[in-house]
Chain A
Amino acid sequence: MAGENTFVINGNELAFEPGETILDVARRNDIDIPTLCHLKSAMPTGICRMCVVEVEGATQLLASCATPAAAGMVVQTESSAVVEARKMIIRLMLSSGNHNCAVRGHAGDDWTSFQLQVMQADGADELCPVWGDCRLQDLAYRYQVSSEPELETPVPYPMETVNPFIVRDFSRCILCGRCVQACNDVQVNEAIEFGYRSAATKIVTGPEDRPLKNSDCVFCGECVQVCPVGALVLKNVRYEARPWETEKVRTTCTYCGVGCQMWLHVKENRIEQVTGVEESAPNHGSLCVKGRFGYDFVGDENRLTAPLIKEGGTFREATWEEALDLVAKKLGQVKNDHGGDAIGMLTSARITNEENYVANKFARAVLKTNNIDHCARL
């Protein structure tokens, strides 16, 4: 029953909408085609060719992210030709830089000399900072690839660490271009692009190739979030927290009114990292510099930890009992002597709906005044 808008993937006949790519249809039907450079919400570039598939009648393998589904097409996503091609791509990528995870191959019996050399370059006593959180590593395991040391290429550009937020490690960059798309097509900050080209290709901030902090970069960190390898890493998280050590809690950002959905990555009661929730409105994974990097206040040593009562012009710590008794007594006195309208309450655009509701009830039902407002005007 081959319909007008159907084609076959791995023996299953599937419907497609005009304009859909092979990858789109496969994803919609839970058929797993691995990708590296593909970035949802941006135009496919077909750079990495990880998503190649075999199409009957085609003279070569086709990138499924950039090939429109067509009626009658017959596609294989894991044929031996496809698997061989993917293995080759992974092998080349692994050989292209400091991919010092355990999947990295070695010459003869000397597995460690490469690892040690890279650890020295990293100034670290651990393997790659994104070990366990790396798309390339996952694919190397999936296809059982280790690199060929004789293909080893020199590291062309030094690591950039001069800004407070993002480490750019060109030795681990596979030039997939996801960061370039995140910057230009998603956040539209237009700070980075491909530069130099051919063997010297590098992601640059413009013709002058300046560091991020002297460029148009606004440190939204979208590039770090989409980087599938360890080329873009958060400076403060590098070697501090591995993904299996942290617990992720979803919440809503506390800064502006956009209400971005975010994951707080917590280790030992500390927020180590913040990432955007990709599958949810309103932000679909995007955050800004405040949302992504402005969370240190939570664990700051100057947080208030106990009630304070002022005596003789200075504060002393008090128990909750004591402080609450005093507040209730003083407010009660003013209410009795001068009426509730002698008290003013400022609730807050920073606290939850539940708390604002209770504040509104407290002012009106307990203090007996409508003198309640907040900073909407400020």
Chain B
Amino acid sequence: MTNTIADIGDAEVILVTGSNTTENHPVLSSFVKRAVKFKGAKLIVVDPRRIKMTEFANLWIRPRLGTDVAWINGLMNVILHENLHDEDFIEKRTEEFGTLRKVVEKYTPEHVEEITGIPAESLKEAARTFAAAKKGSILYCMGITQHTTGTDNVKSLANLSMLCGFLGMEGGGVNPLRGQNNVQGACDMGGLPNVFPAYLPVIDKAVSARFVEAWGVTSLSTKPGLTVTKMFPAAHDGTLKAMYIIGENPMVSDADLNHVEECLKHLDFLVVQDIFLTETAQMADVVLPSRCFAEKEGTFTNSERRVQRVRKAVEPPGQAHYDWEILCDVANRMGYPMSYADSEAVFEEIRKVTPSYAGITYERIEGEGIHWPCPNEEHPGTPILHREMFTRGKGLFHAIEYVAPAEQVDEDYPLYLTTGRVLYHYHTGTMTMKSEGLNEIAPEGFVEIADEDAQRLGIADGDTVSVASRRGKVTARAQISEKAVSGTVFMPFHYAQAAANKLTNAALDPVCGIPEFKVCAVKLEKRAA
């Protein structure tokens, strides 16, 4: 997030898109709801499903799946056409405005209506509402990123925010909501194939030299590595021989699961480090038991870049170890000496090589966390990014054309499927499904379908139906719901028994390698009782 969670309360207009906020970020959603209910903020929800958030919205617009670039360009078209853009901000703080303007010209409300199904008038109203505000916040989540055009979608939202001058101010910003507790921290700490900690590029020789010295090695690879979505095909074709997987369950969470299983089987050696014997761990050659969050000292970094303490409350079961401890033990056996007295000692080393964390200490975040970047111990942290300038200096407009999703509905597979989470479960359910209460309320997978589609297919609420895509087939109970809009069904991906990801498409965004979880074509059939 460029801004903080509390900062949402200062926005005059909030655009929520591709985020089922009340179910996936419930506590954050209350900041949005309060802003609307008590502070008069306007809420625009752009989502293919009639999610709870639409009940609080001044305006809900419903695009066809995977048409995000088109409607965002459409909003910008209206804003430019009606002169609602922030000329001063564009002039002083951005580049390539002309290129953007040229591409956006084509995306008239009428043209956008053809692509997205959004009535031209609604699009105009949304554009006026958004641009008329003095401060506008954009919140988005996986509904924007999990597409073959995920990178384009995000850049388009950045374009929209810059066009209105909503970056670098209170109540503004482009704010991705992080779905996992420490996905921000994992990225910050170099858990990515192309960057060291603090996003320092591995291809940069000077950067590499600094880490060679810091880590006491003779050399480091300057070739960017494989993303998770490229590792599986590499395993399949034999170039990847071994994998070391920590706290991940790709056997349920990845797209096109049947293929993932094939890939893992091809490996010569698989080690999995986790707290449970997950579907993925069951395929391993060696499984190593680790501590869970309540058994650890350390830090997590939340969605608003706030580094916060994690503290040990209970003893770990049996012989479970810290993940860092296990890695040190393996490193020592492989001839690289690595040892730390405790988590804080690791953090002290992090501070030395990660400029954005340099000023953060356990002592400073004892009471409340600090937002990075925090370059020194006197620095208060940075709640709002891009205040005076962008990381690269001026904000760059990207002129982006709409590209259709990788898979379209056709006669054989006439319905769109989109996937996500429900309030009561989390990711692959390895944690939440251990709570009886949560299981009682959300016991099993389902396929959410609009009444109209259900009637046409002769499906009643609660019927067992088969859902098939070009990649696989699962059965689930039909749930006729007002959330669904005709032509699109929804399935949660939590449940291994009705694994939505056996159906999803592993087609990737060419830049960041994210799979298109949010769009694929399926057919539904009622199963004989």
Contact B287 A360 (CB under 8 A): no
Query: Which stretch in A86-94, A146-154, A256-264 binds the other chain?
Result: A256-264
A306 lies within 8 A of B319 (CB): yes
State which of B191, B227, B302 has its C-beta within 8 Å of the C-beta of A356: B191
Q: B284 on the interface (CB 8 Å rule)?
A: yes
The stretch among B84-92, B124-132, B228-236 that forms the contact with chain A is: B228-236
Residue numbers in B under 8 Å from A283 (CB-CB): 27
Contact B329 A324 (CB under 8 A): yes
- Asked if residues B323 and A373 are in contact (CB atoms below 8 Å), the reply is no
Q: In the complex, which range does the number of interface residues on chain B fall in?
A: 35 or more
Known contacts A164-B437, A258-B28, A258-B303; is A353 also within 8 Å of B350 by CB? yes
Q: Which residues of A contact B25 (CB under 8 A)?
A: 256-258
Chain B residues in 8 Å Cβ range of A378: 228, 250, 253-254, 515, 517
Q: Which of B180-212 contact A (CB under 8 A)?
A: 180-194, 196-197, 202, 211
Residues B490-529 near A (CB distance < 8 A): 512-515, 517
Is the Cβ of A346 less than 8 Å from the Cβ of B430? no
B462 at the interface (CB under 8 A from A): no
B6 smallest CB distance to A (angstroms): 6
B393 near A: Cβ within 8 Å? no
Contact B183 A375 (CB under 8 A): yes
Q: What A residues does B59 contact at CB under 8 A?
A: none
Whether B438 pairs with A348 at a CB distance below 8 angstroms is no
Closest chain B CB from A307 CB (angstroms)? 5
Q: Which of A256, A306, A346 contacts B244 (CB 8 A)?
A: A346
Give the number of residues in A that approach B within 8 Å (Cβ atoms).
113
- Chain A residues near B4 (CB-CB < 8 A): 281-282
A-side contacts of B268, CB under 8 Å: 330, 334
B426 pairs with A290, CB closer than 8 A: yes
B277 (CB) vs chain A CBs: closest residue:
A304
Collect the chain A residues with CB atoms within 8 Å of residue B277's CB.
302, 304, 308, 315
Q: Is the CB of A309 within 8 A of B286?
A: yes
Tell me if A377 and B512 are in contact (CB < 8 A): yes
Given A254-B431, A257-B25, A349-B183, decide whether A344 and B334 contact each other with a Cβ distance below 8 A: no
Determine whether the beta carbon of B217 is less than 8 Å from that of A371: no
CB-nearest residue of chain A relative to B304?
A282
Q: B315's closest neighbor in chain A, by CB?
A: A269
Are A327's CB and B182's CB within 8 A? no
Asked if A29 lies at the interface with its beta carbon under 8 angstroms from chain B, I say no
Of A186, A303, A307, A355, most B-chain CB atoms within 10 Å: A355
Q: Does A357 contact B (CB under 8 A)?
A: yes
B-contact 0/1 string along A245-258, CB 8 Å cutoff: 00001111111111
CB distance from A333 to the nearest CB of B (A): 8
Given contacts A289-B438, A315-B287, 9 further A-B contacts (CB under 8 A): A307-B289, A310-B285, A324-B329, A327-B330, A348-B191, A350-B181, A352-B310, A359-B324, A375-B253
Q: Residues on B close to A: CB < 8 A?
A: 4-6, 22, 24-28, 30, 33-34, 37-38, 56, 145-146, 177-194, 196-197, 202, 211, 215, 217, 220-221, 223-229, 231, 234-235, 239-248, 250, 253-254, 268-269, 271, 274-277, 281, 284-290, 292-296, 298-304, 306-315, 317-324, 326-331, 333-334, 336, 338, 340, 343, 346-347, 349-350, 367-369, 423-426, 430-432, 434-438, 440-441, 512-515, 517
